[in-house]
Amino acid sequence: MALTPMMRQYMEIKDKYQDCILFYRLGDFYEMFFEDAKTASRELELVLTGRECGLEERAPMCGIPFHAAANYISRLVGKGFKVAICEQVEDPAVAKGIVKRDVIKVITPGTYSENNGEEEYKNTYIMAIYNSDGYYGIASSDISTGEFKTTFFKELKTTLLDEVSKISPKEVLVDVNFNEELLNEIHNISNALITKKNVMNFNCTDEELINQFSEVEEAGLDLRSKIASSILLKYILDTQKMSLSNINVLESYDIVNYMTIDSSSRRNLELTENLKEKSKKGSLIWVLDKTSTTMGGRTLRKWIEEPLINKEEINKRLDSVDELFNNIYFTEELREALMEPVSMIVESVKSVLEKTPPELAADIIEKGILMTGGGSLIDGLDKLIEENTGINVSIASNTVEAVAMGTGEVLKYADKLDNNISNKEITLID
């Protein structure tokens, strides 16, 4: 017996993403088969069924509605799984035989950001570690904010563990031959997902680094930092499968400019979380944090976790804070400059909701508003809209690229537009 054409297509795609749970799009559902189905049904409490696949036994299967995928993905990623999103990449109406499908994105613990609760005030870092010639090179990035930084230091286990503890990555990339004992210690400190790659052939070229950042930044890197950065960039590009224009600055730093705090001291000092509940309440940042935006909250957290020891840099930071605190005119000018455009956005959202048909409004109230586009990156805008509408607001993980992707989907049907409006401006009317 042989696999059916659809199941053969599934297996060919799955073979490329063996370390992921494959969300295979069938109509209005994402379906999972075989071991993926067993895992998903267990972790997500889904009913496990079966489907004819061409073999003697039915293929184990479970599925979820595609419009509800975000919640299920969040739960799987939170448990340390990777999810590969497989979509139809051609119009079924013109397809000959099986509709062509392919993975459009891979979501991992290190590339997924929560936008709710305390998590939105934390960076979601993914880290690459490379060791050679008695030195460690590390690179880390938060793809939601565009931060990308790298450093290198002598190959000392304690120094590496201190740096991992400070950055607290959700995912760590290492070579397939990396020391297993050390990996266990890294996992114990950060609870990070460990992803192994053959770094001999899994990395970006110098040209790709330059295209993503700049020739000056690439040329100034130590070899270990460069390799760690190229591994990390390669992984990000492979999983996101799109150009990431927000990641355009490669920051090289020296660990000697920051206070070394080991993981045990961080934990017992309760800098960012308490010992008992592992929550923010009762910690140092809980006492100090009076920030109004997620960006401000993340910056304060970083300052607490990475105390400066250079006197000049400390004074620069204090002078900046003093200027913002005491220069009331500067602060008010910023508020006034932002007030009008932000208010217009909020009022536009409220106006659209008022004109929305009841059946659609009910769906919006139930599922919430998903913000996309560059404007959604304005810190605090999601919370402001939420307060003014009473509807839950979240921000898309690929907010900038989502607009282009949506436009691309519309253009697939450009030939079906009314000839009277083709090549003209199209506006929404009541």
Q: What is the pLDDT along the chain (430 residues), one digit of tens a residue?
A: 688 889 999 999 999 999 999 999 998 899 999 999 999 999 999 999 988 888 888 899 999 998 888 889 999 998 999 999 999 888 777 878 888 999 999 999 998 876 655 666 788 899 999 999 899 999 999 988 889 999 999 999 999 999 999 999 999 999 999 999 999 999 888 889 999 999 988 989 889 999 999 888 888 899 999 999 999 999 999 998 877 778 888 999 999 889 888 888 888 999 988 888 888 888 999 999 888 777 788 889 999 999 999 899 999 999 988 887 777 666 667 677 777 788 888 888 888 888 888 767 777 877 788 888 777 777 677 778 887 787 888 777 667 677 777 777 777 766 665 555 445 555 444 4
Q: Are 142 and 251 in contact (CB under 8 A)?
A: no
Q: What is the pLDDT of residue 189?
A: 87
Cα(128)–Cα(204) distance, integer angstroms: 13
Q: How buried is residue 84: exposed, middle or buried, by Cβ count under 10 Å (0-12/13-18/19+)?
A: buried
What is the number of alpha carbons within 13 Å of residue 423 lying toward its C-beta?
2
Q: Could you say which of 2.40.50.100, 3.40.1170.10, 3.40.50.720, 3.30.465.10 is the CATH number of the domain covering 5-107?
A: 3.40.1170.10
Domain residues of the chain, as ranges? 5-107, 112-257, 260-326, 340-416
The pLDDT assigned to 277 comes to 83
* 231, containing H or E segment: helix 223-240
Name the architecture of domain 260-326.
Orthogonal Bundle (1.10)
Q: How many CA atoms lie within 13 A of 227 on its CB side?
A: 19
Tell me how far apart the alpha carbons of residues 53 and 404 are, in angstroms, rounded to a whole number.
36
Contacts of 156 (CB under 8 A, 6+ apart): none
Report strand pairing: 83-88 vs 21-26.
Answer: parallel
With H, G, I as helix, E, B as strand and everything else as coil, classify residue 417: coil
In one letter, which amino acid is 34? F
What are the phi and psi torsion angles at 399 (to 5°)? Answer: -55, -40
Q: What architecture (CATH level 2) is domain 112-257?
A: 2-Layer Sandwich (3.30)
**pLDDT on residue 324:** 76
CATH superfamily label, 340-416: ATPase, nucleotide binding domain (3.30.420.40)
Tell me the sheet residues that pair with 136: 131, 153
- 340-416 has the same fold as 5-107: no
pLDDT given at position 331: 64
pLDDT at 118: 60
